[in-house]
Structure 1
Amino acid sequence: MIRFVLPLLVTLTLALPARAEVEIQEVQTPGGLTAWLVEEHSIPFTALEIWFRGGTSLDRPGKRGAVNLMTATLEEGAGDMDALAFTRAKEMLAASFGYDVSDDTLTVSAKFLTENRGKAIALLRESLVNPRFAQDAVDRVRGQVASIIRSDEKDPNDIAGRAFESQAFPDHPYGTDSNGTLDSLNGLTRQDMLDAHADTMARDRIYIGAVGDITPEELATLLDDLLGDLPETGAPLPADIEPALTGGTTVVPYDTPQSVALFGHSGVARESDDFFPAYLLNTILGGGGFESRLMTEVREKRGLTYGVYSYIVDKDNADLWMGQVQTANNRVAEAIEVVKQQWADIAANGVTEEELTAAKKYMTGAYPLRFDGNGPIANIITGMQIEGMPLDYPATRNDKVDAVTLEQVNDVARRYLRPDDLRFVVVGQPEGLSSTN
């Protein structure tokens, strides 16, 4: 999924709303770190994003949930400060820190005032380099995660997600819940937190974005101070995997008046030349709100659901083309048939020039609206790096969308949409449906 002389300035001065207007500098620190920076000195604060590739997929065997628990405990005290002292110190600086983790990425988000920058970074550094992982804090957060696991066990959407992922990735961390199970969670120790920290938070997998009241030279010094003492390397990253999905239906019985159906098959990689045609195709199929084919056919014409969607899932090690619909138990079989019909119709017959024009307008119009504030921009430019996008991507992205032809979209439809390969996982008490294969 994102990746010269300090500083290199690329000025993107095309006007909104056609393109996003940002000025991105690539900053190389003396310590060897690379960051992207958008200077914005009108307001005296900075947003900083630090992403580590790997995420919960780096859980060690038998330690499922360790990276998630470790990440959630980072703010529960650091250095000589317990959880309460750390929170008070952060509040006194009017700084905010956020720690999150997904299958592929551990993210650290920070916002701080210019006048408090040095102290805020020193405090953040303690949580990244010298977290306490005190036993009482680990146990407290463990209880919170256990609560989430118990709640998810009763949520049809979460049940469907776990069942689908276990079929798609039976021999990969993607196939199990990143929270772990109650048993695996209860078995985690403080040493497991230290191991998870060393495995995930290393300098060889860092991507950094900063936006705000800071110069390239100041950012370079700040980053070496902040991250220079992290381990040089972390655990090996997982290998790529092809989703092990076959066509058919899996019914998971659950006592609920509505069934949730999650469906999908293998997808398209973000780095593929087919990605933009596929993204436009998905907008037409089920990603364009009320104007999409699925919404028109399943909701508007037949009244089978309030919402039905499709989306492209681009994981570091696998790609999926998925969708979801929720409807009454006695109508879910019909809704699934309509989804299959639309999947098959577009695969065989393609889409129209009018649909493609509307999808382009939707995608190009919405894109610049994402660049709304220091925090969102920092998030975007860090994501651009981890996805391997060039510095000028915000200026060229909509041109890439507009350049896609109807022939390209319909070629992608023929090659990637495979209705016979769709696996439906249905959670509920669906009438007229049973598990197959």
Structure 2
Amino acid sequence: MIRFALALVCALTLALPARALDIRQVTSEGGLTAWLVEAHDIPFTALRISFRGGASLDAEGKRGATVLMTGLLEEGAGTMDSQTFAEAAEGLAAEFGFDVGDDTLDISARFLTENRAASVDLLREALVNPRFDEVAIDRVRAQVLSIIASDAQDPNSLAGERLSGLIYGAHPYGSSNNGTAASLKALTREDLFDAKARVMAKDRIVISAVGDITAAELGPLLDNLLGGLPDSGAPMPPKVTPAFDGSVSVVDYDSPQSVVVFGQAGLAMDDPDFFAAYLLNQIIGAGGFSSRLMDEVREKRGLTYGIYTYLVPKDLAEVWMGSFSASNEKVAEAIRIVKEEWTKAATGAVTEAELADAKTYLTGAYPLRFDGNGQIAEILVGMQLSGLPPEYIETRNAKVEAVTKDDITRLAKRILDANALSFVVAGKPVDLK
């Protein structure tokens, strides 16, 4: 019944218009800083915590350690084994989520106000005193090994991993966060404690809270929850310049259809031309059936069911990516059309209608992201990770509207390079040079 109550308050939490958010910065006595949005209409709070570095902080020769460690955080803590921990969370109607990517280890928590203290104490045990029992290690390791085996048979994973290896080389971005079967099997319990210490430290925490909690209550909560973590973790990896050389690489995969990923260098979110790139990307390939690539590759020629592009501003590198699938006989032509459209886009010429449509979509879709406490907490953490100020929520759409055709022309001529656009094809493409 309590679990149902939490699900109900999550469903009833109303979407908050971006302009209605009152973001306060809270600093605890222990020096932890968080962004807070108070919403006291429902007795429920969403908490989001991110640790910079994520899986990129794996120790040398220990690839996959951070992924395995993260998967074990809810598999027992303190005096509780995995089943006891799960039962305690269930009894409190508390929901915890643990995830890790290239740049961050992310923790989400949702709890009722009446169970706040007990829920935070339970989460603290997971973050500060995980058990890493051998039986749990074996179980979660088997799950990750299953993912690795599945990825080895998935053309999307094969293409993505090949491209990452080509453009990032020996940098952590160049290999799978899961590691290899060999590296994962070699990890010990001690390696997992080391992985935790490398990433879960107070010098890289970013925090947000949204819901039924005040600034006076949040500060002590954070010190209780995170005060037991070490002050500092492992040094961050260096930035890396992706090596796009205009090549076409093929991963042999027996299928009547090929998966294609492609990309070139991108730009950071704090780049003055980022919003021009955001709009141009919408015009080129992110706008669904209104995008140029969808029109040329699918609508006019029927070479694919869908093609998309997207900006990926990572912490240590920036890329501009795209992907599509096509029958082996059509891949070569599809790639040719993509290169032609990339060359046209590099001139920066866009029509008034294209620019207006892109602005209408991007400004209209933005408020829809704020559809609940958990989503808002995630957005606030993302803003902090990107170095954006609290007022960005209010000014973002104005920045989109302010982009001119001249801005896009300048950006396109500066960034887009069809000669550097690199492709990886997983399949058996026909007549592809």
| Match in the other structure for 1:63 | 62
| Match in the other structure for 1:178 | 177
Q: CA deviation at 1:20?
A: 4.1
Residue correspondence of structure 1 range 202-351 to structure 2 within 5 A: 202-351=201-350
| Match in the other structure for 2:119 | 120
| Match in the other structure for 1:107 | 106
How far apart in 2 are the matches of 1:319 and 1:159? 21
| Match in the other structure for 1:42 | 41
Percent identity, aligned pairs only?
58
Q: Which runs of 4+ in 1 moved over 2 A?
A: none
CA contact (8 A) 2:304 2:326 kept: yes
Q: CA deviation at 1:348?
A: 2.2
CA contact (8 A) 1:350 1:414 kept: no
Gap runs ≥5 in structure 1: 1-14
**Aligned partner letter, 2:384:** Q
Q: CA deviation at 1:137?
A: 0.5
How far apart in 2 are the matches of 1:270 and 1:395? 17
How far apart in 2 are the matches of 1:131 and 1:27? 27
Residue correspondence of structure 1 range 71-90 to structure 2 within 5 A: 71-90=70-89
CA contact (8 A) 1:20 1:367 kept: no
- Aligned-residue Cα RMSD (Å) equals 1.1
| Match in the other structure for 2:4 | none
| Match in the other structure for 1:11 | none
**Aligned partner letter, 2:242:** P
Alpha-carbon displacement from aligned partner over 1:14-51 (angstroms, at most 9, x marks no partner): x987x543111111111101000110011101000000
| Match in the other structure for 1:9 | none
Distance 1:355 1:115, change over 3 A: same
SS state at 1:420 partner: coil
| Match in the other structure for 1:4 | none
How far apart in 1 are the matches of 2:325 and 2:405? 31
Alpha-carbon displacement from aligned partner over 1:180-230 (angstroms, at most 9, x marks no partner): 000000000000000000000000000001000000010111001100110
Q: CA deviation at 1:79?
A: 0.2
Distance 1:302 1:20, change over 3 A: farther
**Aligned partner letter, 2:261:** L
**Aligned partner letter, 1:255:** D
**Aligned partner letter, 2:33:** T
CA contact (8 A) 1:251 1:433 kept: no
Gap runs ≥5 in structure 2: 1-14
Alpha-carbon displacement from aligned partner over 1:108-158 (angstroms, at most 9, x marks no partner): 000000000000000000000000001111111000000000000000000
| Match in the other structure for 1:144 | 143
CA contact (8 A) 2:16 2:372 kept: no
Give the alignment's TM-score, normalised by structure 2. 0.96
| Match in the other structure for 2:200 | 201
Q: CA deviation at 1:410?
A: 1.2
Give the alignment's TM-score, normalised by structure 1. 0.95
Alpha-carbon displacement from aligned partner over 1:274-302 (angstroms, at most 9, x marks no partner): 11100001000001111111011111111
| Match in the other structure for 2:384 | 385
**Aligned partner letter, 1:91:** E
Alpha-carbon displacement from aligned partner over 1:302-349 (angstroms, at most 9, x marks no partner): 111110011111111000011001010000111111111110011125
SS state at 2:347 partner: helix
Matched, 1:400 2:399: yes
How far apart in 2 are the matches of 1:58 and 1:231? 15
**Aligned partner letter, 1:87:** A
CA contact (8 A) 1:20 1:371 kept: no
How far apart in 1 are the matches of 2:23 and 2:152? 44
